[in-house]
Amino acid sequence: MVSRHLIGFLVFLILTVANFVDVPQVADLLGLFSWSNSTSAGTNISYSKELLLGTNSLVNLSQITEEEMKVGSLQAAATRWPFFVFLGGSMFCLLSSSICHLFSCHSRCLNIQLLRMDYVGITVMIITSFFPPIYYIFQCEPHWQLIYLGGITAMGMFTVMTLLTPSLSSGKFRAFRAMLFSSMGFFGIVPAIHGCIVNWSNPQRSITLAYESAMALSYIAGTFFYVSRIPERLKPGWFDLAGHSHQIFHVFVIMGALAHYGATLLLLQWRDRVGCNGTV
């Protein structure tokens, strides 16, 4: 079971590094670093003189028109921090779950503490998964960003405080914990419908909805196995090592997170092209 969580963590770590390198500021920094290592000292000195003396090869900022500045601003890439918030939350969830299942056999006291950390990781992943779509869909309407992101964050904080309560960590409240996770997921229906209405003319709307629907179905299916304890409830002892409900639950969680990653990429690319001057 630990290997599945670690594989999921490594997958999202690779995705994070790949996308982080693709950030314009980071790419420029890496390009500058590699360029400085490959050029000779004489070339660097010559380039420095040009910078100091202001030769004709440099751009004259006073000649840039207002229209050119507007075009440049339209082509500016959308901010990436909501995207990395989601990736960070996914990695935290998978890493905390790996630690939980790796050390939970140490003692009963540590087992309870690690289970709480596992539940908190799931909650963090749910919260952070809301940030990219809500931020990019309502980027030109900050008040909706505040309402929806504030709402899911408040629900998440309540869920975390509830899960950290010792009396609610027992198996008797398994269904209650699943209800908390499900309620956070169903909260996304409201901004999803709102986003579809305001972006009805967006040609990528159907593809994005398909990705998000796959995510929702994955989470719902995972929650079903988590609550019902199928198949080990039907065949006790057959699935003690592999194939039991908790493993199936985490497989669906990873599948849902990857589907959400695909939808987030589409939204990010769309916002890069449109900015706040096209269809919101």
Which residues contribute to the annotated binding site for Zn(2+)?
A: 101, 246, 250
Structure tokens at 255: 């599948």
Query: Measuring CA to CA, which residue among 22, 13, 8, 74 is closest to residue 265?
Result: 22
SS3 for the chain, per residue? CHHHHHHHHHHHHHHHHHHHHHCHHHHHHHHHHHHHHHCCHHHHHHHHHHHHHCCCCCCCHHHCCHHHHHHHHHCCCCCCHHHHHHHHHHHHHHHHHHHHHHHCCCCHHHHHHHHHHHHHHHHHHHHHHHHHHHHHHCCCCHHHHHHHHHHHHHHHHHHHHHHCCHHHCCHHHHHHHHHHHHHHHHHCHHHHHHHHHHCCCCCCHHHHHHHHHHHHHHHHHHHHHHHHCCCCCCCCCCCCCCCCHHHHHHHHHHHHHHHHHHHHHHHHHHHHHHCCCCCC
| Binding site per annotation, positions | 101, 246, 250
User: Is 210 exposed, middle or buried, given 0-12, 13-18 or 19+ CB atoms closer than 10 A?
Assistant: middle
Query: Measuring CA to CA, which residue among 210, 214, 211, 204 is closest to residue 269?
Result: 204
In the numeric block, the tokens 């908390």 are attached to 180
Residue 263 and residue 133 in contact, taking contact as beta carbons nearer than 8 Å = yes
